[in-house]
Amino acid sequence: MREKWSSRSAFILAAIGSAVGLGNAWRFPGLAAKYGGGAFIFVYFIAMIIIGIPLLMMEISVARHTRLGAPGSMRTLRKGSEGIGWIAVSNSIFVSIYYAAVFAWIIMMFFMSYKFMGLTGNTEAASTLWLDTVKATGDFSGFDIISWPVFGCLILAWVLCYVCIRNGTTTVGKVVKFTVSLPVICLVIMAFRGLMMPGAMEGFAKLFIPDWTALADSNLWVDAIGQVFYSLSTSMAVMFAYGSFLSSDSNVVTDTVIIAFADMFISLLAGIVMFTTMAGTGMLGDMSASGISTAFIIYPQAIVKISDSSVFNMIFAFIFYFCLITLAIDSLFSMVEGASTAISDKFHLNKKKTTLALCINEGIASLIFVTGAGVAILDTVDYFINSYTLIMTGVAEMITAGWFFKTTKILDEINRNTGKFKAPSWWFIPSIRIISPAVLIGLIIWNIITLLKSGGIYGAADGYPLWANIVFGWCIIILSIMSGLIVKLVVKIRSSKGFTEDDRSWDDAGYS
């Protein structure tokens, strides 16, 4: 018997918990600052309606029907497309390995928040708190330098992750009640404080009043679409897994719209926090599009300038990093859950043991980030996965659903058990079949051109050396693409010991 969500709200909160994460807290505000505030928000909104929501609906509804994770779901659409599901699983494994490292840095900053007590007005010291503790060299040297505080926090990160998902939907359903509501409360508190600061309105205006000239910058479009993808947690096996635990009478249309709009709302709330505090501390011009430097270098400088009271600033730091902890944890465990569901489905394994094995192995892999080279490696892996594999996976999923399967069957599945509010075919079908794949393929090509222009593969990801781009970029992409073949090989070996593959078609797999 497949595990199930205990209630509708458990599913919605878990999906929101996955979608709402560090991408909302710092990437969205950073991009809005870079690309003319409201102009970026406008494009983001359109991309979400045209590309993000249809893909999210497709993933959730197909998995609800098949009651299988990403590879199994893709397989029922088209036999040869199982590999696309495995690429999605690889994405979630690779991203969770480095997301755990960022999570560990956040935990570390949370524990170090008391240090803000003695730093009032001292922006210089605030900006080096994180850098000095992670011992980052800024390049690919320093593999022998280990930050023990990060090491400790990383172990804690994985333990927390395992504890949250050890019993699948049962524990996840309980945890997300807190990890979704607490960050919203923290953000509201911080937004109030931000809005009360003198000059805050300047920040507010910069966030919402569009600078339409920014629309001429093609990078705005590329980044907005990329952000929709990353933020909704699509192409990562997560939404397939979560959808597969739904009961047949759930309402995919309403639930998906709630998830997507909650995600956008929390991005805007985080935007208000960032823009008003930065404006209030006179640092509006310092906002960076890079999330890591915003959270660990720039924002700490703002924290020490928030008030003259060192205790107040310290409390603000605690709330800020606590908020990030609660934002990140449910995104992290959703990725492990996505991978664990896919693997245990495929090989008929005990899910709890699979989850534990994944946490241990991913934990070991993530130890690379406690070294001096950790930040540079993270930068590279993040760049390659976000610019290429995630988008490629989305395109491949859509092409399978739009061209190799009867798309109307998916639309019927989406609209099953809905009331008056249905997904219209004039919106869903063209999006899945033509508009989204075309836009996304254009985006990949654009990213490749930009990469080549920036000095060829030598120059990728902040001018890091070629060998590093090959090892931490291209090799990971190749490994992801080949993951389906690796699984095939394992199946072959296991078949000789009597293992049989689940080979159900769409019509055999479903509830109906």
- Residue 234 and residue 58: Cα distance in Å, rounded? 10
Q: Which residue has the tokens 């979630």?
A: 92
Q: Nearer to ligand PFF by C-beta: 334 or 483?
A: 334
- Cβ–Cβ < 8 Å for 21, 327: yes
Q: Least distance from C-beta 473 to ligand PFF, angstroms? A: 18
- Residue 57 and residue 40: Cα distance in Å, rounded? 24
Q: Nearer to ligand PFF by C-beta: 35 or 405?
A: 35
Q: Nearer to ligand PFF by C-beta: 175 or 468?
A: 175
* Binding site residues, ligand PFF, CB under 6 A: 18-19, 21-24, 92, 95, 230-231, 233, 236, 238, 331, 334-335
Q: Nearer to ligand PFF by C-beta: 236 or 246?
A: 236
Q: Least distance from C-beta 67 to ligand PFF, angstroms? A: 20
- Residue 137 and residue 141: Cα distance in Å, rounded? 7
Q: Least distance from C-beta 434 to ligand PFF, angstroms? A: 25
- Residue 249 and residue 10: Cα distance in Å, rounded? 15
Q: Nearer to ligand PFF by C-beta: 251 or 386?
A: 386
Q: Least distance from C-beta 122 to ligand PFF, angstroms? A: 30
Q: Nearer to ligand PFF by C-beta: 49 or 195?
A: 49
Task: Report residue 443 as tokens.
Answer: 């985006």
User: Nearest 5°: phi and psi at 141?
Assistant: -110, 170
Q: Nearer to ligand PFF by C-beta: 126 or 264?
A: 264
- Residue 277 and residue 256: Cα distance in Å, rounded? 32
Q: Least distance from C-beta 326 to ligand PFF, angstroms? A: 12
Kindly compute the dihedral angle of the four CA atoms of residues 259, 265, 269, 275, in this order, to the nearest 10 degrees: 120
Q: Least distance from C-beta 347 to ligand PFF, angstroms? A: 21
In the three-class reduction of DSSP (H, G, I as helix; E, B as strand; rest coil), residue 371 is classed as: strand
Q: Nearer to ligand PFF by C-beta: 106 or 303?
A: 106
- Residue 62 and residue 57: Cα distance in Å, rounded? 8
- Cβ–Cβ < 8 Å for 262, 78: no
- Residue 294 and residue 279: Cα distance in Å, rounded? 14
Q: Least distance from C-beta 433 to ligand PFF, angstroms? A: 24
- Residue 340 and residue 73: Cα distance in Å, rounded? 15
Q: Least distance from C-beta 327 to ligand PFF, angstroms? A: 7
- Residue 226 and residue 388: Cα distance in Å, rounded? 10
**Measured between alpha carbons, how far is residue 184 from residues 189, 359, 488, 497 in Å?**
9, 27, 43, 51
